[in-house]
Structure 1
Amino acid sequence: MRKIGLIGGISWVSTSDYYTLINKGINEKLGGLNFSECLIYSFNYADIKKNNDANDWDSTFEMLFKGCEFLKSGGAEAIILCANTMHLIADKLQKAIDIPIIHIAEVTATAIQKKEIKKVGLLGTKFTMELDFFTDKLSQKGIEALIPESEEDKDFVHWTIFEELGRGIVTEETKKRCLEIANKLIKNGAEGIILGCTEIPLVIKKGDLSVPIFDTTLIHTQAAIEFQLS
């Protein structure tokens, strides 16, 4: 089994999901008492968010680079960034380290392409929705991304990720509003919805919408499992 390194704490809620899903996936493949051989470097999310709010991605890069180097020194053969937003600096990190980073947007784009879908709705932090680090990976596969049209809707999704979901808080009111926003995207032509934040699956689940859901946490962890067993 190939050893992987997880960059976590961004947030701890989704890091816990990553650890659970990867270990369950390995066990489903190998049975017995076989589980994932992995390392986790978990950050204090407050330090990361302070940088991001100040648009100081260089400081965030330095923090994650040190984390990646730590995991590499422990024998990790690939890096998993356990958050969509952190992939804003994934390409820069990849150039700085000599082990692969399994990119969440690339594996998500591949999953969408397999469904022969050309237009998807994207929900995530405002960084993920508005910047091009995620959508560029989609467009390279011929996939168009739609994001919420109103600033109010984008602000709501962004706020709830940091103030509720990232703390493990789930409410029916937030679920209802997120589904309303997703359904607006479907009305505008989205043939599928990307849950482009690793916490959004807490409120939008399979069967909640009339179109396919692309859970980036599930897709990303499956790619990690495939790497480990390759």
Structure 2
Amino acid sequence: MTQKVIGMLGGMSWKSSAEYYRLINEGVRDRLGGLHSARCLMWSFDFDDIAVLQCEDRWDDAAALMVEAAQRLERGGADFLIICTNTMHKAYAQVRAAVDLPLLHIADPTAARIRTAGFKRVGLLGTAFTMEQDFYKGRLIDRHGLDVIVPDAGDRATVHRIIYEELVQGKVETASRAAYRGVIRRLVDAGAEAIILGCTEIMLLVGPDDSPVPLYGTTGLHAAAAVDLALG
């Protein structure tokens, strides 16, 4: 079998990109057996460059960096691309327009799995940008017909702070797990039938035992979809 080459826009953060790399290679090994692993290229950003632009609301500048990286991967021989972060899917349209390659959106395999399971009303956890802006929620709602609810302002601030001050730096704190459990419980009380872990680092902190409803981790679902596409 000839594998397609996966182009990965990573480093946002490197902790979750390492998980992508592991999951994709394990997925190919499990499908093909033996010593098989994935054919892939990764551009890994210095995340501080991106995070500064996010915090300064300079999204066009951040998108320009994403476009440059995508074009490097295209020149390097990638057959399709994935953006290894939820938040920077804010630049999805610009990246997609700048390359002549398919770009696999992280929300699509997640929503497909949720709809297959029969859920409609979902809670969304992620960075403040992902939870509060429409670039991500809008795709879940408009393209996939999901009813999306987010935490209240205080809980959104807690979720966002833990991502940037702890998870992207590899810190996994017991108190933060307890805080996320509380946020999840309140989303369930508000009617959430399932929870989307809409930041690629959140799976480092919480798992199925931390929620009374199913959790859908975007990292694993996106990686599995990339393996499917790579193996045709």
Q: Normalising by structure 2, what TM-score?
A: 0.97
CA distance in 2 between partners of 1:48 and 1:171 (Å): 25
Structure 2 letter corresponding to 1:146? I
CA distance in 1 between partners of 2:5 and 2:208 (Å): 30
Structure 1 counterpart SS, 2:71 = helix
Corresponding residue number in structure 1 for 2:196: 194
Q: Is the 8 A contact 1:109 1:137 kept in 2?
A: no
CA distance in 2 between partners of 1:51 and 1:75 (Å): 28
Residue 93 (structure 2) pairs with residue 91 (structure 1): yes
Q: Percent identity?
A: 40
The CA deviation at 1:68 is: 0.5
Q: How many correspondences in the alignment?
A: 229
Corresponding residue number in structure 2 for 1:148: 151
Structure 1 letter corresponding to 2:149? L
Corresponding residue number in structure 2 for 1:21: 23
The CA deviation at 1:207 is: 2.9
Deviation per residue, 1:27-69 (Å, 9 max, x gap): 0000111000000100001100111111101111111111101
CA distance in 2 between partners of 1:173 and 1:92 (Å): 38
Corresponding residue number in structure 2 for 1:32: 34
Structure 1 letter corresponding to 2:10? G
Structure 1 counterpart SS, 2:208 = coil
Stretch of structure 1 that moved more, 116-125 or 131-140:
131-140
The CA deviation at 1:202 is: 1.1
The CA deviation at 1:175 is: 0.3
Corresponding residue number in structure 2 for 1:74: 76
The CA deviation at 1:130 is: 0.5
Residue 198 (structure 2) pairs with residue 226 (structure 1): no
Structure 2 letter corresponding to 1:69? Q
Structure 1 letter corresponding to 2:150? I
The list of structure 1 runs, each at least 4 consecutive aligned residues, that deviate by more than 6 angstroms after superposition, is none
Q: 1:2-13 residue pairs with structure 2 within 5 A?
A: 2-13=4-15
Q: 1:97-176 residue pairs with structure 2 within 5 A?
A: 97-139=99-141, 140-149=143-152, 151-176=153-178
Unaligned runs of 5+ in 2: none
CA distance in 1 between partners of 2:144 and 2:105 (Å): 14
Q: Is the 8 A contact 2:67 2:94 kept in 1?
A: no
The CA deviation at 1:92 is: 2.1
Structure 2 counterpart SS, 1:207 = helix
Deviation per residue, 1:76-101 (Å, 9 max, x gap): 01111110001011122112211011
CA distance in 1 between partners of 2:80 and 2:146 (Å): 27
CA distance in 1 between partners of 2:178 and 2:209 (Å): 14
Unaligned runs of 5+ in 1: none
Corresponding residue number in structure 2 for 1:217: 219
Q: Normalising by structure 1, what TM-score?
A: 0.98
Structure 1 letter corresponding to 2:86? N
Q: Is the 8 A contact 2:66 2:91 kept in 1?
A: no
Structure 1 counterpart SS, 2:124 = strand
Deviation per residue, 1:176-227 (Å, 9 max, x gap): 0011001100010000000000000111102321111101001000000001
CA distance in 1 between partners of 2:78 and 2:88 (Å): 19
Structure 1 letter corresponding to 2:148? A
